Chains A and B, each alone.
Chain A
Amino acid sequence: MFDRRELFSRALLAGLGACLPAEALAAGLAAAAQPQWALALGDVEDDISPRPLTRLHGRLPPDLAGTLYRNGPALFRRGGTAVNHWFDGDGLVRAFALRDGRATLQARFVDTAKRRVEAKAGRIVQPGFGTAMRDGAVLGSADDTNAANTHVIAAGGRLLALWEAGSAHAMDPATLATQGPVTFRPDLKGMPFLAHPKVEASGRIWNIGLSGANAFVWRLSADGALEASKLIKLPAASYCHDFTMTQRHLIIVLQPWLHERASMPFASGMVWRPERGTRVLVIDKDDLTRQRLFELPALFFFHLGDGWEDRDGTLHFDGAFDDSPLFATETASALVQGRYPRTERPMLRLISLHANGRAQVRDAGITAEFPRNPAGNVGPRPTFHVGGYRPERPFARSIGRWDWEAGRGAAHDFGAHQIVEEFVPAGPWLIGTSINLAARATELHVLRADRLNDGPLASWRADVALPHSFHGSWVAA
């Protein structure tokens, strides 16, 4: 979109040339010309003390009690400087507690080395996914740059705030106080732990951590204690934000966005090589050396749904796929400055891996992101997702449910004034948040998972607008 504001700011930049530091100029211009959706990348200046949410309509089902925890970047700017990517903001863990018809909100920043260094400096200095290292940076390990901002899960009586290139951070589930980075075994200090561990019906937790073409496979008990681990070599040094699994197999999707150089920021060392296609590595959980490799056309992804296996041995999993990494390399940087240079259209697709080695892609024909599936299924199951992406602004505006077997879905559109975040299955319900751009406030909604078309059966509004969160977990009381 090339409007008069863009024209004016380009002329201003050309006229001022090198007179002002680029960052200060950008920050000043950004402040003057912020679109309404920029609330989704606003800064939270301090922890959010516990406060009630105002009920807008409906009633909390009596047997729905517990806490929705969510994590996401919530501080992007300090003293005239800014991170250069959505993924590099400091993690803020939110707790939406539901009980006896009432909802309360509390949120605390994860106390990380990155946050301490930058609070002391009064500036953004640490390198990240898209942010360069600046004067005053402290870089002794990956955990020095750990933003702890992507997901939050509960295990063993504590919360784990997850990132991907370093440790999980443990937090107290009641107070949200940070207990510190988790070292599962002394020689594994600081090893990468993806933000998307996968949980079996038994509660056992699998995860991977990546470094170039090496993957470290983590197996934890339901309590979050290390059971086993193994280093495996991957056929390609792909960027993996997520992986998936079936009851018997781990599934690592190797997209052709390849780590070719160790570089800061991280994304500057990655190269998109679509001619190599996307490959899928299937690993036997009982023997990690037993592997199969499948070939697909080039697809880019952040998020995958849970996998399942048919009787005939075909493996299936879905995910939100795009044709290129441009969201990661361009759009997510622009968003911090209030710019939206190209339309995002992540599409819901099903990948099927047949026993004869053939792989297929099936398109649902709808935009979708942040896929979630109900826990405990071993067979086909519905995929819940955000969607309704339109060209005029970033982020989703609807919640949807897709059924691959039926080949159709349901959805509820919250409207153009709402930015809809991930919804999490909680028994027969879905619970999630939105940013109401008209009310300039975060809202919490409960829907019946089998009656999405009815819209929320209850909604609450907070007295604050929190920026767009990524992922979270429902912990029943």
Chain B
Amino acid sequence: MIIRSLITALLIAAPAAATDLTVNFTVTDVPTGQIMMNLFDSEAAHDSNTGPVRQAAVPVKDGKAVATFAGLAPGRYAIKAFHDIDGDGQMGMTPFGMPSEPFAFSNNAQPQGGPAPWSASNFTVDGTTTTAITIK
């Protein structure tokens, strides 16, 4: 009886299962370089482009790249990513200050004169989650 109560108490007190996110990138333009991405856990952070909860730089191989994040809290997230073709760790810019390397957002949400809005790109992460982004 005491053991059952103890076990019950332990079960109730146990934290939720750790949440993992795998992001599968399909890269269609150039087979080299790396994908650099920011993972945001709030609309405010996403819109102000500050405080990404995680970041990753993953190599592109055979038109694919994979980023994995372990131990995330369940909730809504959004990704801003770009293809660092020249591998210099930065988004390339033209002489007129426009991006010269391709970029994409979670849910393959479309840019509309600026980054895709949180409302279009946010997705739920809970348990083992996989999401796909195409960069072209």
Contacts and interface: CB of A to CB of B under 8 A. Distances in A.
Given A187-B100, A189-B100, A190-B100, A216 B95 contact: yes
Given A141-B99, A211-B96, A216-B95, A186 B112 contact: no
Contact of B95 (A138, A140, A141, A187): A187
A201 interface: no
B111 A140 contact: yes
Given A216-B95, A231-B95, A186 B100 contact: yes
Given A140-B103, A141-B99, A190 B112 contact: no
B110 interface: yes
Contact of A188 (B99, B100, B103): B100
B112 A142 contact: no
A364 interface: no
Interface stretch (B11-19, B42-50, B86-94, B121-129): B86-94
Given A133-B112, A138-B112, A140-B111, A187 B93 contact: yes
A377 interface: no
Interface in A191-237: 191-192, 211, 214, 216, 231
A139 B100 contact: no
Contacts of A231: 95
A214 B93 CA distance: 16
A137 interface: yes
A191 B100 CA distance: 9
A83 B19 CA distance: 48
Contacts of B99: 141
Interface string B62-99: 00000000000000000000000110000011111011
Contacts of B93: 187
A264 interface: yes
A216 B96 CA distance: 9
Contacts of A139: 110-113
Contacts of B113: 133, 139, 264
A254 B3 CA distance: 88
B97 to A, nearest CB: 8
A192 B96 CA distance: 9
Interface in B99-124: 99-100, 103, 110-113
A142 B110 contact: no
Nearest to A192: B96
A139 B98 CA distance: 13
Contact of B92 (A133, A142, A186, A211): A186
B80 to A, nearest CB: 12
B112 A187 contact: no
A46 B86 CA distance: 39
Residue from B93, B99, B100 with most neighbouring chain A CB atoms (10 Å): B100
A13 B65 CA distance: 56
A231 B110 CA distance: 31
A188 B111 contact: no
B108 to A, nearest CB: 11
A186 B103 contact: no
A188 B112 contact: no
Contact of B98 (A133, A141, A186, A264): A141
Given A186-B85, A187-B100, A189-B100, A138 B94 contact: no
Residue from B85, B86, B94, B113 with most neighbouring chain A CB atoms (10 Å): B94
Contacts of B96: 191-192, 211, 214, 216
A190 B95 CA distance: 11
Contacts of B103: 140
A39 to B, nearest CB: 35
A334 to B, nearest CB: 27
A141 B111 CA distance: 9
Interface string A254-278: 0000000000100000000000000
Interface of B: 85-86, 92-96, 98-100, 103, 110-113
- Smallest CB-CB A-B distances: 8 pairs: A140-B111, A138-B110, A189-B100, A211-B96, A139-B113, A231-B95, A139-B112, A187-B100
21 contacts: A138-B112, A139-B111, A139-B112, A139-B113, A140-B103, A141-B98, A142-B98, A186-B92, A186-B100, A187-B93, A187-B100, A189-B94, A190-B94, A191-B94, A191-B95, A191-B96, A214-B95, A214-B96, A216-B95, A216-B96, A264-B113
Given A140-B110, A189-B94, 18 more contacts: A133-B113, A138-B111, A139-B113, A141-B99, A186-B85, A186-B86, A186-B92, A186-B100, A187-B92, A187-B93, A187-B100, A188-B94, A188-B95, A188-B100, A189-B100, A190-B98, A191-B98, A214-B95
